[in-house]
Amino acid sequence: MSDDITIILNMDYIDILAFKDISNFDIRNIERYLIYQEENQEYDLATIVTYVNIGLDKKGYSEYSEYTKEEALNDLTILVNKYHKLPDDYEPDDLVALSYHNSYTYYLRSEAAEAYERLQSAALLDNVIIYPFSAYRSYDTQNTLYTRYKERDGEKKADTYSARPGFSEHQLGLAIDIRSNTLTDNLTNNDYEWMLDNSYKYGFIVRYPKGCQHITQFMEEPWHLRYLGIEVATKVHNSGLTYDEYYDLYMKETQD
Ligand SMILES: [Zn+2]
Instruction: Express each pLDDT in 33-58 by its tens digit.
Output: 999 999 999 999 999 999 999 999 99
Q: Is 59 among the domain residues? A: no
Which of the four pLDDT bands, split at 50, 70 and 90, describes residue 180? confident
In a domain? residue 34: yes
Residue-range definition of the domain harbouring residue 230: 65-255
In whole angstroms, give the CA distance from residue 225 to residue 176: 5
Phi then psi for residue 219, to 5 deg, are -60, 165
d(CA 224, ligand 1 centre) in Å: 4
Task: Give the CB-side neighbour count of residue 105, counting CA atoms within 13 A.
Answer: 6
- Is residue 181 pLDDT above 90, yes or no? no
Regarding whether 146 and 111 lie in a shared domain, the answer is: yes
Q: How confident is the model at residue 8 (pLDDT cuts 50, 70, 90)?
A: low
43 and 101 assigned to the same domain = no
Compute the distance from residue 51 Cα to the ligand 1 centre, in Å. 23
pLDDT of residue 104: 83
Q: Is 207 part of any domain?
A: yes
- 181 within a domain of the structure (yes/no): yes
Same domain flag for 85 and 124: yes
Band of pLDDT at residue 256, cut at 50, 70 and 90: very low
Distance (angstroms) between ligand 1 centre and the Cα of 137 equals: 10
First-last CA distance in the chain: 17
Average pLDDT of the residues in 220-226: 94
Radius of gyration of the chain (CA): 19
Average pLDDT over residues 212-233: 96
Among 97, 41, 47, smallest CA distance to 214 is for 47
Q: What pLDDT, in 10s, does the model give residues 68-126?
A: 999 999 999 999 999 999 999 999 999 999 986 567 899 999 999 999 999 999 999 99
Ligand 1 centroid, distance to 30 Cα (angstroms): 34
Kindly list the catalytic residues: 221
pTM: 0.92
